[in-house]
Structure 1
Amino acid sequence: MPVGVILAFLAYAVFSVSDALIKATGPSMSVFEIAFFTTSFSIIPAMLTKRGERWRDIYKLHHPYLVHLRCTTAILGTACVMFAFTHIPFADVYAIGFTTPLFVTLLSVLLLREFVAVHRWVLLFISFLGVVLVIRPGLRELELGHYVMMIAAVLGAVTTTVLRHVAPRERKVSLVGLQVLYSGIFNAILMVPTFVIPSLEQLVILLGIGLLGGIGGLLLIQASKQTPANLIAPVQYSQLIWAILFGAMFFGEYPDWIAIVGMLIVVGAGLMNVLSEKRPIRWKPRVFFFRIGE
């Protein structure tokens, strides 16, 4: 097995551990407070490994409006994902999150005028049907977290589409630094009404969430340098395995057989979609959740 694929598996396992810690922390503080601390801490690995760019160039932008739009959608999407993790089952969050490629494809066609083959539309639709099997609207009561996570998927698609357009010309320090800066301001303001002073244990967990997110992003970047993206991209679907495992071990969440079938459909259609893509894939550590290193 290529080294890059192993690193990618490790990266997504790290992401999943970070998500499990978010879910465990959620009931004790607001999503804005969690986002403030974890996003602030997640930049530490990037700062320690930064090469060739200066932080003072952060506002030297070629597409200022699009960069700020990306910051806005990424920050709102992160808040939505954290809310979902703390309110609905682990596997449901990932299953809904994997609809992001569908929205990315729609936006790519409408805004970037990209061509998408018919078989890819069919696979995206099948993947969406798999998500329907997981959440089963109409057959079971959907919670607010399910709707919020769908909003997060749309926001993630906007974030990814904009990034594909601006990334070739913008500095990484701008794309990372501005998002962290604005996220800190946004979440600091919104966390004030319900702010809870973290205990030492909570602070250590928040630090762990942030560091794991940053390290996972760096691992995935290293994986992408060593192995073609078409081999790296399918590894993201391994997160559904971690979701089922962690959900059962730590949160008493046991998906029924219909949900498991739905997840298999999502994974199968997603893998076929990725592997059938002929163009180079610009795969991101998180298409629906902000990570340093995107």
Structure 2
Amino acid sequence: MKRARSILGSGIAIALLAYAAFALSDACVKVLKGHVVAWQLGFYGSALSFLILPLMWRPGDRLSDLIRPQRPATWWLRGGLATVNMFASIIAFSHLPMAEAFALIFLMPLLITILSVIFLRERVNVKAWFAVILGFAGVLTVLRPGFRDIGIGHIAAMLCGLSGAGLFVLLRHTRDREKRITLFGAGVLCPMIVSFLLMLPGYTPPDLWEWLIISGYAVLAALANMLMMYASRLSPASHLAPTQYSQMLWGVGLGYVLFGDHVDGWTYVGIGLICFAGLWRFVPKQWLRALLPVATGR
């Protein structure tokens, strides 16, 4: 029992480290704003993602499996969504305070619920729908349409969340039909090729400082993915999922310390609602049964 708890705790700790690495990688994007265009950063990030290819490799896999899917249509769809997701993420973190970008991107778990109902015909309980409504209330609180300008960064962050949700639902639909290395190929090769073609006109080689930050962006993202893969072997997904919200703390802290981001009170309220909506799904049913009599005074 103690050993099982130790392994479970190790998985959660590794997941927290992974999300710290993701947040630091996103901070590198913000550092490079105005120095390196999104296409260029996307190309280098995708190319260096091949660092984790050995971890995806299984006995019997071949390099040709990267581009030889059983279902070509879903392979291309995954590649397209991955490309949109990558560019949207880069644009969002380039134009928004980190905490605000994370808040809008964290629409993803709520959008997964909606897309799962539409495309996977899954049944969703009342608790999940309550989380969706609460999450969208949080987004409206962050955006406050009509009271503040909504820019390309806000649109990109929401598009990042939507495309990320689409990738997750598509993965659940195809994971038993495609090899893991084939799914990896779609998610990396398509963004890399599109980025390469877009960056060719007017290409300017990065200087040494820019190379260092680009390398940090790509290596940290690859490291984070490797850590998450390792964490998933030690702990079930239901225990790891809430750890993603630690990114919000990193976003607030890094944004304030590195970039002088100042987030107003209403934005913090919206962030709180979004985080609560996401974490609400993981509250054990027995806790809710225990709290209900207290809340109703019975």
Specify if TM > 0.5.
yes
Give the letter aligned to residue 159 of structure 1.
Answer: L
Give the aligned partner of residue 290 of structure 2: none
Deviation of the 1:34 alpha carbon? 0.5
Give the aligned partner of residue 41 of structure 1: 48
Conserved in 2, the CA contact under 8 Å of 1:42 and 1:212? no
Deviation of the 1:170 alpha carbon? 1.1
After the TM superposition, which residues 194-205 of structure 1 pair with which residues of structure 2 at under 5 Å, given as runs? 194-205=202-213
Give the letter aligned to residue 78 of structure 2.
Answer: R
2: distance between equivalents of 1:265 and 1:229?
A: 23
Conserved in 1, the CA contact under 8 Å of 2:56 and 2:181? no
Long gaps (5+) in structure 1: 278-294
2: distance between equivalents of 1:236 and 1:242?
A: 11
Give the letter aligned to residue 111 of structure 1.
Answer: F
Give the aligned partner of residue 168 of structure 1: 176
Deviation of the 1:169 alpha carbon? 2.2
2: distance between equivalents of 1:134 and 1:68?
A: 34
Conserved in 1, the CA contact under 8 Å of 2:66 and 2:185? yes
User: Are 1:251 and 2:255 matched, yes or no?
Assistant: no
Give the aligned partner of residue 214 of structure 1: 222
Q: 2:35 aligns with which of 22, 28, 33?
A: 28
- Change beyond 3 A, Cα 1:48–1:3: closer
Give the aligned partner of residue 237 of structure 1: 245
1: distance between equivalents of 2:203 and 2:283?
A: 45
Give the aligned partner of residue 285 of structure 1: none
Long gaps (5+) in structure 2: 1-5, 286-298
Deviation of the 1:203 alpha carbon? 1.4
Q: Which has the larger radius of gyration?
A: 2
* Normalised TM-score (structure 2): 0.88
Give the aligned partner of residue 188 of structure 1: 196
Q: 1:98 aligns with which of 103, 106, 116?
A: 106
> Which is further off, 7-16 or 172-181?
172-181
* Normalised TM-score (structure 1): 0.89
Give the aligned partner of residue 84 of structure 2: 76
Deviation of the 1:51 alpha carbon? 4.0
- Change beyond 3 A, Cα 1:189–1:276: farther
1: distance between equivalents of 2:284 and 2:39?
A: 39
Give the aligned partner of residue 269 of structure 1: 277
Give the aligned partner of residue 290 of structure 1: none
User: Are 1:4 and 2:11 matched, yes or no?
Assistant: yes
1: distance between equivalents of 2:19 and 2:263?
A: 21
Deviation of the 1:48 alpha carbon? 6.5
- Change beyond 3 A, Cα 1:67–1:138: same
Identity of aligned residues (%): 33
Deviation per CA, 1:179-230: give whole Å up to 9, x if none. 3222221001111224221112211221221111111011111111111211
User: Are 1:18 and 2:25 matched, yes or no?
Assistant: yes
2: distance between equivalents of 1:231 and 1:91?
A: 23
Conserved in 2, the CA contact under 8 Å of 1:30 and 1:195? no
2: distance between equivalents of 1:187 and 1:25?
A: 16
User: Once superposed, which parts of structure 1, at least 4 consecutive aligned residues long, lie more than 4 Å away?
Assistant: none
Deviation of the 1:67 alpha carbon? 1.7
Conserved in 2, the CA contact under 8 Å of 1:67 and 1:166? no
| Bigger fraction of residues in helix | 2
2: distance between equivalents of 1:93 and 1:60?
A: 35
Give the letter aligned to residue 192 of structure 2.
Answer: G
Conserved in 2, the CA contact under 8 Å of 1:88 and 1:143? no
What is the aligned residue count?
277
1: distance between equivalents of 2:55 and 2:26?
A: 23
> Which is further off, 191-200 or 105-114?
191-200
Give the aligned partner of residue 117 of structure 1: 125
